[in-house]
Chain A
């Protein structure tokens, strides 16, 4: 399974990037390259260990792990939980919950301006929306944002449910079906 997105490189060139199931190569690149750049930084995910996180969920069928790859380099990582989370907007219904999402350090405005590639995070998020439609959750997506990313989810017009006491006081955001439909129009 491969989904191809387009990204804009720092020099303005439009390039193809593939969204793939997470592989050991992606995790190895995280270990060797991402980690070295993130650990000394003050990013909120500087301590994240994607290898360990993946080990915890790799045998659980409700989790899906993906990487966005461009020119044989891992540009973004994402875990989705697809079965157990309920919508807060429509409590009877399920949604796709973005368990973890992060872009490579060189794609973050906070570390490198301008970023190496633009479109990485949006590609990952768009894929989560697409999975929600495929699972018949009508595009509903939920997540707990890291503080530095809240503006992105506001820009996407996700509903801001405010700080969540049960989730490290991170803000919970949810994408409604209506907004998901608008995003879906961008990819037909």
Chain B
């Protein structure tokens, strides 16, 4: 049971950790970070799609600049709204 993890193991471990160059962690508990994470991961709506929808539906009412403003504003608003909604969610 008490197996000695020797030099072969160690050189492999160091190689893996150097290659990854990041922290080593896992676990279902993003807590207060959950909102930000989900917002960043999922809140990024496809700006190209949004632009084409706007151009098609209201392109005759709004200028290109106005559509561009909306396209730039929406993802940020979506992200902050998701963060706000999930802010109170906290796992032990």
Contacts and interface: CB of A to CB of B under 8 A. Distances in A.
A and B: direct contact (Cβ < 8 Å)?
Answer: yes
A144 B28 CA distance: 7
A163 interface: yes
A54 to B, nearest CB: 11
A149 B37 contact: no
Contacts of A37: none
Given A110-B23, A169-B41, A118 B17 contact: yes
Interface residues of B, number: 38
Contact of A119 (B13, B21, B32, B41): B13
B32 to A, nearest CB: 6
Interface string B1-23: 11111111110111011111111
B17 A122 contact: yes
B54 interface: no
B59 to A, nearest CB: 34
B34 to A, nearest CB: 6
B38 interface: yes
A151 B22 contact: yes
B30 interface: yes
Interface in A142-188: 143-156, 163, 167-170, 186-188
B5 A5 contact: yes
Nearest to A101: B26
A102 B16 contact: no
Interface of B: 1-10, 12-14, 16-34, 37-38, 41-42, 90, 92
Interface of A: 1-8, 14, 43-49, 52-53, 56, 79, 98-103, 108-110, 118-126, 130, 143-156, 163, 167-170, 186-188
28 contacts: A3-B1, A5-B9, A6-B7, A6-B10, A8-B14, A44-B30, A53-B29, A99-B27, A99-B28, A118-B13, A118-B17, A122-B12, A122-B13, A122-B17, A123-B5, A125-B24, A126-B9, A143-B27, A144-B26, A146-B30, A148-B22, A148-B23, A150-B22, A168-B29, A168-B30, A169-B41, A170-B28, A187-B5
